[in-house]
Each structure stands twice: as structure tokens, then as C-alpha cells.
Amino acid sequence: MRQTNRPAALTAALLLTACAAASGTGPTDDPPASGDAARGPAPAAPAGPALSGVGECTYPMKEQYKARPWALQRVVLDELWRDTRGENVRVAVIDTGVDDRNPQLRDAVDRAAGLDLLGKGKAKDPTHDEVGHGTKAAGIIAARPRKGTGFVGLAPRATIIPIRQNDEKGKGTTRTMATAIRHAINREADVINISQDTVKPLSADSDLARAVREAVERDIVVVASAGNDGLDGKRKNTYPAAYDGVLAVAASDRNDERAPFSQSGDFIDVAAPGVDMISTVPGYGHCADNGTSFSAPYVAGVAALLKARYPTWTAHQIVTQIQQTADRVIDGHDPYIGWGVVNPVRALQEDAGRPIDKVTPDRGPAAGVTAPRPAALTLGETPQERRARLATYAMGVTAVLVAVVAGTATVARDRRRRS
């Protein structure tokens, strides 16, 4: 891990196209009129943290997404929720705010516990989300079931602590992120989701690094996105995902392979769906987006379920369970999808009640089996084979001679009889 001696603002380029939402007067179950929707302009490269999502949509949406999204189709939800749906678990979403007007988030968001680090004076509101990024992340974690849509959060009874720390202009810094983490600690978060990253090296004594350590020491599961700079194929650390104790999440596609944009590196712990991710948007409805920003909350939702089912487990044991039960393409760890693609049902049901503290590679199908000794390869004829061949020839010649002699005798006898 590279280090520098000075704390710095996160400077990775923002890969998010802003979506501006119209203002509203309060929650409503009905979709807004078409005139309420607005599309925001593409922002200039900011000097703040990069939000690890790259999509664009218009919201509020006129309609809900009716089908079950593919990322949820891979999960048997009845089996996943057999024991818990995330009750009494608090998940802090450090992002662009979490809109609580969307009907699926209205009962999920604890506005009073939130924090707005961007607004000023009376304008401070952690549920004000001009970008939609934080609202999407929160929906993947804890959106409530709703008639007319197949979309639902993985932990639909967990509580979201909204922390507005960044926007499409990248106003967030390492210091405001550290402040957000400490606020989550003080508000007794069980899980912290951070869908932001930077490739700028940060020292182990930076304010952000210290805040992460404080959260880990308080037994909070910290989940962070790996980032979307993977198209160049270069492995590099991103922060805060690469800090010790953070569960770093890459993005996978429908084939459980690394999404092309997903950042690779030895710090990757697991991967989760991050392509064509359906989730809630401010005001009403849903839209699709891509990025490790939406892989991280998928894993945070699983962590919330584990915390609810096993409240005595440590954060480290929850992280290890997620890593150990991931679907792997190799027997061990790789720098693209880590220990594998997260499997929510296996995480909740496999080895139920027995926490583990260390991830172990899978044993291959032939592990512990002695390989058979290969037979010697003979290119020529062995002496035994030659003797057998010659004996066969001799027997054949003898048989022919016997036949000739017998035939000759028979002809001679017949001639004598006729004469």
C-alpha cells in the first residue's frame, strides 16, 4: 500500500451524470406529473470523491419497474428471508443523500439520525438528493416491498441513516467523509456503506484512515465500492476500499464475471451485481444504473441480514462469512472478483450459527488424491510381442502346409479309385 504524509482531498474524476429532481412538498403514493421531471446537465470533473456509478435517468419516474430485476432473480428471496429481513439493523449510507419521498424508502429512512455536510443553515437536509445516487444505493439495501413492482431491498426491514456528504460536483473531501463515518459511529450504525472511491494514495495516519479504524474497532461492518476505473486493466488500490478491515466490493455481470469497468486489485474481497442495476430514485419509481456503487450496497444488504440473524457475531466474522460463501471461479482469491461473487442465501444459511474467523480456499476435486502412475510409453515392439508374432506366423504356415498335404493326399486317393 502506497502512502503519503499529507491528508488530501479525494481527486478521482467523477463518472456520474447528474440527474436533477424537481422539488416536492412531501411524500405521495402517486407518480408526479410529467412536468416535474428534469434532467440535469453533465458535470465537470470535480475535485472531490468519485461516486462509483455512471448512469443517467430522469426522475421522478412516471411508473414503477414491474418485473423482478435480474440481480434479485438470482436469489431465492423466501429462502433468504427465512429467518430475518434485517430488523433492528441500522445501515449508514454515506453518499449524496437519501430521498425519503419514494414510497419504498419512506419508512426505511431515519431522517432525524441523518447528517447533511453540504447544505447550509436551515437548508440542511440529509434526505435531499439532487443526484439520485444515494437514493439508489439505499434502495438496494432496504427498499420496502410495494405492490406493482418486483424490486425490493435485500434487507427490507433495515433502517437507513442518510448522510449527505457528496454531490455531482465532488464537493466531498476526505475530511468530510471521515466526519460522516464518525457520525455513523455516534448514531450506532451496524453497517456503513460507502459507494465512493479515489485512487489517490492516502496515508495510514490520514483522518479518513483513522475514522475507518475507529469504525472497525467499534465492530461496524464497513463496505466500500472498488471503483469504475478498471477498463485499462491496471491493478491499483482505491480508498477507502483498500484500507484494512473494509469489505471491498467489485462489480460482476449477469454471468458472474467481472464487469469490464470494475477496478481490479489485490484488495478486492468479493464481487456483486453491478450491471443494469434497478433501484429507487428520488420522488417515485426506479431506473437502471451501472457501477460498483451499486455492488457495494448489495453486499451491505447481506451484511445487514447477517447482523440481524447473528447479533453476537463480530464485524470480522460477518465479513468472513460473506467471503467464504461467495461463488468462486477458482479455488482461492483473485484480483478481479476477490473470493467470488456474493451468494446471499449461502451467506445466511451455510454453516448456520457457526461463525468463522478466517477465509479458506476451496479444495480442488482431486485434493489429497495421489495421481495414478502413467504407463511407460513404448515406441517399438517388445521381445514378448515379437515372440508372440513369430509364433503366430509359424502356426499359420503350419496350418497351410497341413492343408496342402491333406489336399494332395485326397486328390491322389480319388485318382486311384477312378482308375
User: Which residue numbers are catalytic?
Assistant: 95, 133, 293
**Contacts (Cβ under 8 Å, ≥6 apart) of 102:** 135, 139, 143, 280, 281, 282, 283, 284, 285
Would strands 90-95 and 159-164 be described as parallel, antiparallel, or unpaired?
parallel
Would strands 115-116 and 246-252 be described as parallel, antiparallel, or unpaired?
unpaired
**Contacts (Cβ under 8 Å, ≥6 apart) of 398:** none
Q: What are the grid coordinates assigned to 329, written together? A: 471461479
Q: Can you tell me the distance from the alpha carbon of 13 to that of 2, in angstroms, rounded to the nearest whole number?
A: 20
Among 266, 94, 55, smallest CA distance to 196 is for 94
Say if CB 138 and CB 107 are below 8 A apart: no
The number of beta carbons lying within 10 Å of the beta carbon of residue 110 is 18
SS3 (DSSP) at 202: coil
Q: Can you tell me the distance from the alpha carbon of 177 to that of 369, in angstroms, rounded to the nearest whole number?
A: 51
Q: What are the grid coordinates assigned to 386, written together? A: 515379437
Radius of gyration of the chain (CA): 33
SS3 (DSSP) at 152: coil
Say if CB 310 and CB 379 are below 8 A apart: no
Q: Can you tell me the distance from the alpha carbon of 248 to that of 244, in angstroms, rounded to the nearest whole number?
A: 10
Q: CB under 8 Å, gap of 24 or more: what pairs does 349-358 form? A: 349/79, 349/82, 350/325, 351/321, 353/310, 355/310, 355/313, 355/314, 355/317, 355/320, 355/321, 356/317, 356/320, 356/321, 356/324, 357/316, 357/317, 357/320, 358/320
Q: Can you tell me the distance from the alpha carbon of 3 to that of 21, in angstroms, rounded to the nearest whole number?
A: 39
In this structure, the dihedral spanned by the alpha carbons of residues 69, 73, 79 and 85, taken in order and rounded to 10 degrees, is -20
Question: Phi/psi class of residue 116: alpha, beta or left (left: φ > 0; alpha: ψ in -120 to 50)?
Answer: beta
Residue 209: Cβ-neighbour burial (10 angstroms; 0-12, 13-18, 19+): buried
